[in-house]
Amino acid sequence: MEKELYDIPMQAKLCYEKNKGLILPDKVPYIGMGSSYYAAIVLRYLGVKIFPELAGDYFYYIQKIRQFENAVLISQSGRTTDVINCAKCFREFVAIVNEMDSGLTNQPNMKLAVQIFAGVEKYSSTKTFINTLIVLYLGHGFDVKHALDLMERKFPEFELVGESVGSSIESSIKRKKLKCINIIGNGPNVGTAYQAALMLSESTKFPFVAMSLSQYEHGYKETAENAIVIVINPTKSILYKRTQKLMDILRNAGAKVFEINETELDEIYSPFTSIIPFFFMACYLANRLGISFPFTIGNKITERIGDQ
């Protein structure tokens, strides 16, 4: 996994250069699963007029309503069955993929294929998540070069933060004195939190649960005692002070609280740097817990479950 993490800055630059000038449609569904869906959630909280949807649920429940003629379908592999199924729900669609020759890109009603240029990825979504974000930001008029430059410059710092938090989580897991681990974000970093929880759960076989700060405040905070709460809280966040107050409340309630704090970027660009410590956290924990490969119950790509 380490090699894939260290490839992130280079592959991100390649994606940026290859996709500058891209224009993606708005006012349509952006449909994916897992990290593809979470990347679309990030964009929604930038105020972009898109409608993120989970592919499996959209195909079986929502497509009957026939609200849209067009969509953007996101599948990094291009092979995810639930996403491919959704192709038939629309007159035409744009595909966002890492693999250009795939089941999704070979659909007859595909209008455009956008490649994210993440390279080979065998472990959980890291390079592909970052590069999907790059494509989505560029496609809606956000120039992310400064965010990518900062990400590369601070990469060693992110590794240290990830390993430090990972070490504390490892101790709590091994002592078996841990009730739950929550990851909390606001605005665009709700999507970041979802992606962090997915990757950490895959990599450690321990459940991480993500949600927005407002959702956590409405009931979930009652689980704080003997829990770990990791809070994504950029300094320039609209809810920075409110989040600081919540962290104090949680510490007083007996939670172990960690803050992932982007200090330089505006909140709208902070997902590019806020996610990186979680990648290194997952890598550290997988190594320390003796987990050599994240996918043992199923494959990395869900190609057959529920295929009809």
CA–CA separation, 259 and 277 (whole Å): 11
| CATH superfamily to which 154-288 belongs | Glucose-6-phosphate isomerase like protein; domain 1 (3.40.50.10490)
Domain borders along the chain are 2-143, 154-288
Q: How far apart are CA 216 and CA 207, in angstroms?
A: 16
CATH level 3 topology of 2-143: Rossmann fold (3.40.50)
For every residue of 282-293, which 3-state class applies, written as one string? HHHHHHHCCCCC
d(CA 107, CA 109): 6
- The packing angle between helices 276-288 and 189-204, to 10°, is 10
Q: Do domains 2-143 and 154-288 have the same CATH topology?
A: yes
pLDDT one-digit tens code per residue, 99-112: 999 999 999 999 99
Q: What are phi and psi of 252, to 5 degrees?
A: -65, -25
Identity of the residue numbered 205: K
- pTM, rounded to two decimals: 0.94
What would the mean pLDDT of 111-117 be, rounded to a whole number? 97
Give yes or no for a contact between 272 and 151, defined as CB atoms under 8 angstroms apart: yes
| pLDDT confidence of residue 290 | 87
Q: What is the pLDDT of residue 293?
A: 66
- As a residue count, the chain comes to 308
**In which band, very low, low, confident or very high, does the pLDDT at 179 lie, cut at 50, 70 and 90?**
confident
Region of residue 129 (phi > 0: left; psi between -120 and 50: alpha; otherwise: beta): alpha
Q: What is the mean pLDDT of residues 133-154?
A: 98
The pLDDT score that the predictor gives to residue 294 is 62
Tokens in use for 273?
Answer: 């740097």
